[in-house]
A = this chain, B = another copy of it.
Amino acid sequence: MKPNCTNVEWHGRAKCAVCEVRNFVLFSGLSSQELDSILQPIDNLHVPQHAVLYEAGTVAPSVYTLRSGLIKLKVDLPNGGQRIVRLLRPGDVTGMETLVGERYHHTAIALQNTDVCRIPRAVVMQLDQTNPGIHLALQQRWQRSVDQADHFIVALSTGPAEARMARLLITLGCTGDHPETLPSREDMGALLGITTETASRIMAEFKRRGLVHGDRGSDVVCDRSGLTQLAEG
* Set B83, B99, B128, B154: member contacting A158, Cβ < 8 A: B83
Interface size on A, residues (CB 8 A): 36
Instruction: Say whether A147 contacts B193, CB under 8 Å.
Output: no
Instruction: Say whether B100 contacts A158, CB under 8 Å.
Output: no
A106 to B147, CA, bound (A): 11
Main secondary structure of the interface of A (DSSP, over half): helix
A78 with B157: in contact, given A100-B140, A150-B149 (CB under 8 Å)?
A: no
A97 with B132: in contact, given A83-B158, A157-B193, A232-B78 (CB under 8 Å)?
A: no
Instruction: Say whether B150 contacts A79, CB under 8 Å.
Output: no
A232 to B99, CA, bound (A): 30
A6 to B77, CA, bound (A): 46
Does any Cβ of B come within 8 Å of A113's Cβ?
no
A150 with B100: in contact, given A193-B157, A193-B158 (CB under 8 Å)?
A: no
Instruction: Say whether B101 contacts A143, CB under 8 Å.
Output: yes
A100 with B153: in contact, given A158-B83, A158-B193, A193-B158 (CB under 8 Å)?
A: no
With both chains docked as a complex, state the minimum distance between the C-beta of A111 and any C-beta of chain B, in angstroms.
18
Instruction: Say whether A153 contacts B152, CB under 8 Å.
Output: yes
A106 to B150, CA, bound (A): 10
With both chains docked as a complex, state the minimum distance between the C-beta of A142 and any C-beta of chain B, in angstroms.
4
Instruction: Say whether B149 contacts A142, CB under 8 Å.
Output: no
Q: Which residues of A contact B (CB under 8 A)?
A: 75, 77-79, 83, 85, 96-97, 99-101, 105-106, 128-129, 132, 135-136, 139-140, 142-143, 145-147, 149-150, 152-154, 157-159, 193, 232-233
